[in-house]
């Protein structure tokens, strides 16, 4: 998936049909610029009447539209559009660069440093961005920050100074100038009545492309929730994050009053961390996925077609922190989900960092750091010796840089580095890539439940046979995993030996 021609391109006819129908499935996949108004919109813009075809141009990104001199629409608000993860699949140099931009690399580093990380020259990187996205890397980065600032100004009562910090501007003067240039209006002039929030938290809309099965993600996370760190119920996901002395918390729930949106209630004591927190929660709940592209790739086998019809909105549940999911994956080797959660809860209770003041009911501590677990006595918690050694070994490997959760590394590189550690096999490495990196093509093929579910007749495929079958599902094999697990989610359908191989 590294060739340039595999990257997405715009089809004007498809864009035109989506624009005229206001099809929410295309929201965020392209933007509509109107030459007579010099405004760019989302495909779902409610403005009427629709502009004439000869006055319309289509752009792959908001940054491209702004680079061409268009400003964001105040009605459909492009800052609310879900991201386009078509650019985030595979291991193309631009994919890796965009992941690094989303991860905040250009906040403190230059485009030259970005180019060095992805292994090409800065001039070549700029050329690729302009050719494919219509704007150079720094413009993509700046547009992302300004659109986030626009959402904060519109939906919250944060002071403008804090909005500037939250969107990555160290200087209020630079923020005001950049914002006015992009929006043709001063930041203060966009103020609206904020959504109601409790105490010092704020409320934000997080949009997605339908269909989206929020309940399925909550169900998956609820069975793996860590007491003291996370609270998951039928309606919401809540967790604590940040340093123990100034922790933040968030709560994500459905928003029935808003089309295709979730409600994020957020308390973030450090405004400069807010954009990274929102980016992380979007990735964790897979809010930028394109269900149409995924379904097209997966519907090559009968069991998968049936699952797609039955569960059309399944997404890939990520994780908040890579080390958390690594420990969980190790504890989940050859045991049930419930048993792994029990062991992980013991680790948190013994070695988690307690908060000086609990931020909310059920949120009392942070997950232990690699420094804490590198020499921890885990055998005393009922963890068998081999897995205790593996957890300590992983903690040390993370500390000395032998492994990491860098978003720009390829799946092959990630798996290769992790399986070199004692106690980490292909299954564990792919599971960590699926949850810790949110890699859409991770595929733990040795999983017994997957091999049984994919057969379609009650038999169990070999790992080799399942791997060959899954080639047709690239680059979305991780979504196939979620569908196969969902199809086998009733314990009564599984023999006891198979249930023991449930994932962590």
- 486 and 453 in a common domain: yes
| pLDDT per residue as tens digits for the range 441-489 | 999 999 999 999 998 888 999 999 999 999 999 999 999 999 999 988 7
CB neighbour burial string for 258-291, b if at least 16 within 10 angstroms, e if fewer: eebbbbbbbbbeebbbbbbbbbbbbbbbbbbbbb
Identify the sign of the CA torsion 273, 276, 282, 283. Answer: negative
254, pLDDT greater than 70: yes
Tell me if residue 202 falls in helix, strand or coil.
strand
Which pLDDT value is given to residue 86? 76
Which pLDDT value is given to residue 46? 92
Least confident of 182-186, 396-400, 486-490: 486-490
* Ramachandran angles phi, psi of 237, nearest 5°: -120, 130
Q: Is residue 492 assigned to a domain?
A: yes
Tokens of 37: 């108004």
Q: What is the mean pLDDT of residues 169-192?
A: 92
In terms of C-beta density within 10 A (0-12 exposed, 13-18 middle, 19 or more buried), how is residue 427 classed?
Answer: buried
Separation between Cα atoms, residue 16 and residue 20, nearest integer Å: 6
- 476 and 444 in a common domain: yes
Which pLDDT value is given to residue 498? 34
Separation between Cα atoms, residue 248 and residue 397, nearest integer Å: 28
- 228 and 305 in a common domain: no
Question: CATH no. for residue 302?
Answer: 1.10.1670.40
- 303 and 245 in a common domain: no
The conformation of residue 396, written as its DSSP 8-state character, comes to H
138, pLDDT greater than 90: yes
Domain boundary among 288, 322, 344: 288
Mean pLDDT of the chain: 91
Which pLDDT value is given to residue 198? 67
Which pLDDT value is given to residue 303? 80
Answer whether 297's CB lies under 8 Å from 120's CB.
no
Q: Is residue 122 assigned to a domain?
A: no
| pLDDT per residue as tens digits for the range 221-248 | 999 999 999 999 999 999 999 999 999 9
497, pLDDT greater than 50: no
* Ramachandran angles phi, psi of 435, nearest 5°: -95, -45
Least confident of 52-61, 282-291, 296-305: 296-305
The residues annotated as belonging to the active site are: 41, 447
Question: CATH no. for residue 270?
Answer: 3.30.310.20
Q: Is residue 464 assigned to a domain?
A: yes
- 497 and 473 in a common domain: yes
Separation between Cα atoms, residue 284 and residue 90, nearest integer Å: 18
Separation between Cα atoms, residue 398 and residue 411, nearest integer Å: 17
Domain total in the chain: 2
- 257 and 231 in a common domain: yes
- 310 and 275 in a common domain: no
Which pLDDT value is given to residue 224? 95
Identify the sign of the CA torsion 5, 6, 8, 13. Answer: positive
Separation between Cα atoms, residue 461 and residue 451, nearest integer Å: 5
Domain that holds residue 444: 297-314+440-504
pLDDT level of residue 1 (50, 70, 90 thresholds): very low
Q: Is residue 282 assigned to a domain?
A: yes
Which pLDDT value is given to residue 287? 97
Does the predicted TM-score (pTM) go above 0.95? no
pLDDT level of residue 419 (50, 70, 90 thresholds): very high
Separation between Cα atoms, residue 83 and residue 29, nearest integer Å: 7
- Length of the chain as a residue count: 504
- 309 and 270 in a common domain: no
CB neighbour burial string for 102-136, b if at least 16 within 10 angstroms, e if fewer: bbbbbeeeebeebbebbebebeebbebbeebbbbb
Q: Is residue 193 assigned to a domain?
A: no
| pLDDT per residue as tens digits for the range 95-122 | 899 999 999 999 999 999 999 999 999 9
161, pLDDT greater than 90: yes
Q: Is residue 62 assigned to a domain?
A: no
Q: Is residue 75 assigned to a domain?
A: no
Which pLDDT value is given to residue 282? 97
Identify the sign of the CA torsion 365, 369, 372, 375. Answer: positive
pLDDT level of residue 88 (50, 70, 90 thresholds): low
- 280 and 214 in a common domain: yes
Q: What is the mean pLDDT of residues 128-132?
A: 92
Q: What is the mean pLDDT of residues 335-340?
A: 93
Separation between Cα atoms, residue 131 and residue 417, nearest integer Å: 33
């Amino acid at each position: 998936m590294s060739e340039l021609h595999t990257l997405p391109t715009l089809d004007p006819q498809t864009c035109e049909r989506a624009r005229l129908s206001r099809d929410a499935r295309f929201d965020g996949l392209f933007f509509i610029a109107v030459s007579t108004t010099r405004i760019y919109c989302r495909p779902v813009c409610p403005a009427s009447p629709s502009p004439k075809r000869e006055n319309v141009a289509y752009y792959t990104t908001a940054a491209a539209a702004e680079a061409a001199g268009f400003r964001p629409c105040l009605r459909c608000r492009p800052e609310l559009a879900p991201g386009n993860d078509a650019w985030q699949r595979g291991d193309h140099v631009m994919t890796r660069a965009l992941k690094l931009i989303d991860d905040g690399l250009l906040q403190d580093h230059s485009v030259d440093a970005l180019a060095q990380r992805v292994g090409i020259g800065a001039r070549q990187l700029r050329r690729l961005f302009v050719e494919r996205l219509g704007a150079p890397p720094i413009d993509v980065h700046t547009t992302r920050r300004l659109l986030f600032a626009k959402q904060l100004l519109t939906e919250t009562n944060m002071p403008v100074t804090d909005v500037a910090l939250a969107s990555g501007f160290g200087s209020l003067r630079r923020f005001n100038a950049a914002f006015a240039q992009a929006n043709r209006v001063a930041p203060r002039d966009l103020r609206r009545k904020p959504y109601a929030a409790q105490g010092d938290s704020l409320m934000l809309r997080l949009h997605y492309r339908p269909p989206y099965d929020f309940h399925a993600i909550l169900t998956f996370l609820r069975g793996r929730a860590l007491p003291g760190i996370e609270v998951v119920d039928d309606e919401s996901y809540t967790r604590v994050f940040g340093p123990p002395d100034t922790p933040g918390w968030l709560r994500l729930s459905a928003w029935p009053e808003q089309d295709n949106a979730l409600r994020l209630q957020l308390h973030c004591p450090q405004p400069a961390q807010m954009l990274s927190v929102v980016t992380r929660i979007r990735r964790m709940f897979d809010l930028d996925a394109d269900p149409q592209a995924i379904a097209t790739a997966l519907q090559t086998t009968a069991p998968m077609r049936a699952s797609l019809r039955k569960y059309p909105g399944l997404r890939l549940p990520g994780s908040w922190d890579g080390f958390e999911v690594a420990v969980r994956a190790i504890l989940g080797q050859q045991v049930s989900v419930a048993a792994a959660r029990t062991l992980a809860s013991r680790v948190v209770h013994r070695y988690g960092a307690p908060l000086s003041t609990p931020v909310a009911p059920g949120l009392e501590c942070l997950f232990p750091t690699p420094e804490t677990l590198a020499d921890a006595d885990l055998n005393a918690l009922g963890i068998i010796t081999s897995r205790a050694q593996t957890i300590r070994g992983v903690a040390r490997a993370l500390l000395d840089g032998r492994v990491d959760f860098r978003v720009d590394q390829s799946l092959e590189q990630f798996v290769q580095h992790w399986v070199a550690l004692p106690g980490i096999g292909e299954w564990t490495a792919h599971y960590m890539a699926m949850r810790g990196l949110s890699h859409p093509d991770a595929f733990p093929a040795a999983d017994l439940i997957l091999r049984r579910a994919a057969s379609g007749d009650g038999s169990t495929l070999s790992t080799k046979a399942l791997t060959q079958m899954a080639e047709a599902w690239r680059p979305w094999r991780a979504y196939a995993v979620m569908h196969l697990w969902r199809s086998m989610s009733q314990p009564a359908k599984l023999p006891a030996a198979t249930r023991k191989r449930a994932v962590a």
